[in-house]
Amino acid sequence: MGDEQPTTESRLDVRRINTAQFETAKRRWQTSLVLKGILFLLGVTIALGNTVWFAPWVMVALALISESLQILSDLAKGDAESVLRMLDRCRTFGRPISHAELRDLVIAAPRHTRMVATGTAADEYFTGSAPPGPRRALEGVLESAWYTRHLSLAMARVYAALVGVIVIASLVMLAAAPRYTSAASPDAVVKAVAAWLTLSVSLGMIKNVIAYFRMASRCERTVHSTERLLAVGDVTETEAVRQWYEYQIARAGMPLLPEWLWTRMRSRLGEAWRARAE
Least confident range from 76-85, 127-136, 145-154: namely 127-136
CA distances from 51 to 54, 58, 182, 190 (A): 9, 12, 13, 7
Q: How confident is the model at residue 189 (pLDDT cuts 50, 70, 90)?
A: low
Q: How confident is the model at residue 149 (pLDDT cuts 50, 70, 90)?
A: very high
Higher pLDDT, 139 or 52: 139
Distance (Å, rounded) from C-alpha 3 to C-alpha 55?
Answer: 56
Residue-level pLDDT at 17:
81
Distance (Å, rounded) from C-alpha 148 to C-alpha 81?
Answer: 14
Nearest 5°: phi and psi at 125?
-115, -40
Residue-level pLDDT at 14:
78
Least confident range from 27-31, 93-97, 237-241, 270-274: namely 93-97
CA distances from 2 to 108, 120, 267 (A): 18, 18, 43
Helix (H/G/I), strand (E/B), else coil: 5 = coil
Q: 180 burial class (0-12, 13-18, 19+ CB within 10 angstroms)?
A: middle
Report which secondary-structure segment, H or E, holds 245: helix 237-252
Q: 189 burial class (0-12, 13-18, 19+ CB within 10 angstroms)?
A: middle
Residue-level pLDDT at 9:
35
* For residues 87-104, average pLDDT: 77
Most confident of 4-8, 28-32, 187-191, 234-238: 28-32
Distance (Å, rounded) from C-alpha 176 to C-alpha 191?
Answer: 10
Mean pLDDT, the chain, whole residue set:
78
* For residues 181-189, average pLDDT: 55
* For residues 123-132, average pLDDT: 59
| pLDDT tens digits, 242-256 | 888 889 888 888 899
Q: How confident is the model at residue 125 (pLDDT cuts 50, 70, 90)?
A: low
Nearest 5°: phi and psi at 42?
-65, -40
Report which secondary-structure segment, H or E, holds 175: helix 134-176
% of the chain with per-residue pLDDT over 90: 21
* For residues 28-51, average pLDDT: 80
The answer to whether the predicted template modeling score (pTM) of the entire model surpasses 0.75 is yes
Q: How confident is the model at residue 58 (pLDDT cuts 50, 70, 90)?
A: confident
Q: Is the pLDDT of residue 122 over 50?
A: no
Residue-level pLDDT at 40:
79
C-beta of residue 26 within 8 angstroms of C-beta of residue 259? yes
